Amino acid sequence: MTRHARNCTAGAVYTYHEKKKDAQTSGYGTNTQRVGKDSIKDFDCCSLSLQPCRNPVITKDGYLFDKEVILQYIINKKNEHSRKLKEYEKQKRKEEEELEEVAAAEKASRLSNFLKSEKNIVSKPIDGFKKDDAGEASVSNMANGNDKKLPSFWVPTKTPNSKKEIIKKPDSTILCPVSAKPLKAKDLIDVKFTLVKDPEDKKSLIVKENRYMCAVTHDILSNSVPCAVLRPTGDVVTMECVEKIIKKDWIHPLTSEKLKEKDIIPMQRGGTGYAQTNANLEGKHQRPVLQA
């Protein structure tokens, strides 16, 4: 089959370009777009505020946060948990009161039935020609005082509810906003970045492109350089330094302390725009699907 131009509609093949063009103009289908480097945070930025960290701390999973931001997040979660717990306890008390009312009503009905049966032991003369008013059953649902008990669609307090909302007991565990794993304030580890010493560069720290370097090898740190944090001191080093220097004798190169495997925390990197560095660089915008 011969090739045809992009705007040619005489071909028998529905090309990929025509399909994407029709989907874009029609407003149906899922739009996918590759995410660039500018859409992903830097390695030294907070995972919540997406701004450069003033007091950086890291979790045991390698996610970097600003200390003020993550502590405020934990406080907000605790306040939210206490609010939900109060609502749950209020609902529990209400259910207990309703059960007590039902039990009291059932007890009163049993007592009234017993007294009624006791009164009926002494028989009275029955007049067969007299109508029994109590035995008359009314067809209307407004009789016998039901007009004040019926639900009303005009009064907000008497509007009928379709279903009672049940509040479950809230979980007191605070989860990490990125990894969704349990997070505690005492597990946060302070991070110490080593500044690049360049006396000729008079720019501000945020404006600088090369802000930090490895504490051991003095290599420039960036999103394309895998990094790790040493738990005892919080120093940031490159993974190359970990593999070639630290893992040889498992001694801290700055303090000569003995290290273990758990003392090396790999940092979750930011974005470089290359698929090899990042797991997912594709953004999706879901729209209604056109069905034939």
- In this predicted model, what pLDDT tens digit does every residue of 125-156 receive, in sequence order? 555 565 555 555 667 767 777 766 666 666 66
Helix or strand run (H / E) with residue 75 = helix 67-119
How far, in Å, CA of 142 to CA of 163, rounded?
A: 24
Length of the chain: 292
Is residue 236 within 8 Å of 267, Cβ to Cβ?
A: yes
Of the chain, the end-to-end C-alpha distance in Å amounts to 27
pTM, to two decimals: 0.65
76-109 pLDDT per residue, tens: 999 999 999 999 999 999 999 999 999 999 999 9
Q: Letter for the amino acid at 108?
A: A
